[in-house]
Amino acid sequence: MIRPEALLCFAVWLAYGIVQMRRSHLIRASVGRIPRTRRVLLGAGAMLGGVMLFFAFLALLPSLGLVVQGRILPGGWLLAALVGLAFVHAQTVGMAMLISLAYESVTSEQAGTSVPKESDPSDRS
């Protein structure tokens, strides 16, 4: 059975993800000002770093004294909620950086015509 505290943490993370989604235009604008090479490194670093931070926290939770007899104490749940928010933030910003790289290459290409160019009859050699 899923603990109510876990559901509450999940609801907080989901709500923050929705907030980030609604302000995605602001995130895209701020990310677009970062140089391309830096976006690659920061985006990948945020995606991987967020996951590593979250799993490292979960692994350290018992050694921090926040787990007693297999149950997470209230302070542990509070820290889990905060570290989870950092995880969601890193994932959304990191993905925005990586996706902006794909959009940049698509929008920088010159648009082609939908009708093939006809050859000029006077150009025959």
pTM of structure: 0.77
Helix (H) or strand (E) run with residue 71 in it = strand 71-72
Residue 28 has pLDDT above 90, yes or no: no
Averaged pLDDT score across all residues of the chain:
87
Query: Could you report how far apart the first and last alpha carbons of the chain are, in Å?
Result: 81
The CA distance from 113 to 74, in Å, is 62
pLDDT above 90 as % of the chain: 69
The CA distance from 95 to 75, in Å, is 30
- Per-residue pLDDT tens digits for 75-119: 999 999 999 999 999 999 999 999 988 876 555 556 566 676 666
Q: Which residues contact 89 (CB under 8 A, 6 or more apart)?
A: 16, 20, 50
